[in-house]
Amino acid sequence: MVHPRSPLAFAILGVSTLDRALAFYRDVIGLDASPEVRWRGAAFETHFDLPPGSSARAVMFSFDRGACKGVGRVLALEFDAKDRKTIPKKGDRTYRGLWNLNFYVDDIRATTKQLQAKGYDFWSEPVGYEVSAKAGAPVEVLFDGPDGLAINLVELTGGPDTTIGRLREKVAALGKTAKGFTPVSTTSHSIVDHGKALAFYRDVLGMEVVIDDVLDKPATNHFLNRPAGARTRATFVAGGHEFGKIALSHPLNYSVENKIPLAVPPNIGYLAQSFAVPSLDTAAVKCAEIGADPFSPPLDIEIPGVGCTRAMIVRNPGSGALMQMFEAVR
């Protein structure tokens, strides 16, 4: 589905094994799994800056129902490569770059108990907090997902006079998987330059700011495992959809570890965000204008779960994280 603005089409994850990814994104979250394919060839190698002969086993996880088609998906890639490094290490919390996936649930406390019974390690108990009087108050919790990737569950609360309360009504109409989860609702991107990072999402993709607040309350720092007194500018941008939003996380008075050098194929972890754009040529020009350095050039490529298209990868100028863009397949 082509949207007037570009929400997250899918997160690109390097996974240790596809079996582990299937056990979580299909069997726990309830997303549909595409048939597995072996992704290889010259275009694949150039696109991901890999040596000749590289390949990956690939599965796209999605909830392609009605207005959810093409939004908030997960592309899992098990690269056939030696010496793959894992981006998040045990005990990592927020780090510079792409670091979590969010899913909306209806009853976060019941869901937390179910996942704890399956052995997942939670950072805290579910915590309710007020973002602001205008935005409203969600309940959130995080846990370590497959390969150490942070998974954030969110229960939307509040009345229709708040941003989050209105969002709850819209999300209810879109539906959830049989396991009670939405597609990827939001995904966090920890940055070092707010203006430059926002320019990519706003000027290249046409996304709009829906929430822009400083998170500094003890409850917020508790469930995010941030230092006491930490102040974080949280800017949520949306691409014309309730799912596939981006949360820019900008530490204001503390530092986080830089994981950008590790977040490249064929390593294990959150490698890139991917967005469908109407014109790759136009997007490339806009990327040059805001200083988004190219990682791989525009080329014709067949993306698993998408089809034959043109795509390129750039580095977000506000962090260095990888951003994939591809022409929407109609």
Q: Where are the domains of the chain?
A: 10-86+262-327, 97-251
CA distance 235 to 240: 16
Give the chain's count of helices (H) and strands (E): 7, 17
Q: Contact 91/106 with Cβ under 8 angstroms?
A: no
Q: Contact 33/143 with Cβ under 8 angstroms?
A: no
> pLDDT, tens digit, for every residue of 159-207?
888 888 889 999 999 999 999 999 999 999 999 999 999 999 999 999 9
- The b-or-e profile of 45-54 (16+ CB within 10 A means b, else e) is bebbebeeeb
Report residue 45 as tokens.
């190698």
Instruction: Give pTM, 2 decimals.
Output: 0.96
- State the pairing for strand pair 269-277/322-327: parallel
The one-letter code for the residue type at 245 is K
Domains 10-86+262-327 and 97-251 belong to one CATH topology: yes
Q: Which residues contact 249 (CB under 8 A, 6 or more apart)?
A: 94, 188, 189, 190, 191, 232, 233, 234
Report residue 244 as tokens.
């596939």
Intervals of the chain under pLDDT 50:
1-3
Q: What is the dihedral of CA 103, 109, 115, 117, to 10 degrees?
A: 180
- CATH no. of 97-251: 3.10.180.10
- CATH no. of 10-86+262-327: 3.10.180.10
Burial class (CB in 10 A: 0-12, 13-18, 19+), 8: buried
CA distance 265 to 14: 7
Burial class (CB in 10 A: 0-12, 13-18, 19+), 293: exposed
Which residue from 278, 196, 252, 218 is spatially nearest to 5, judged by alpha carbons?
A: 278
CA 43 to chain centre: 24
CA distance 93 to 226: 8
DSSP 269-304: EEEEEEEEES-HHHHHHHHHHHT--EEEEEEEEEET
Q: Contact 12/275 with Cβ under 8 angstroms?
A: no
CA angle 78–84–85, rounded 5-degree value: 120
Tell me which residue has tokens 């949306």: 238
pLDDT of residue 85: 97
pLDDT of residue 330: 61
3-state secondary structure of 115: helix
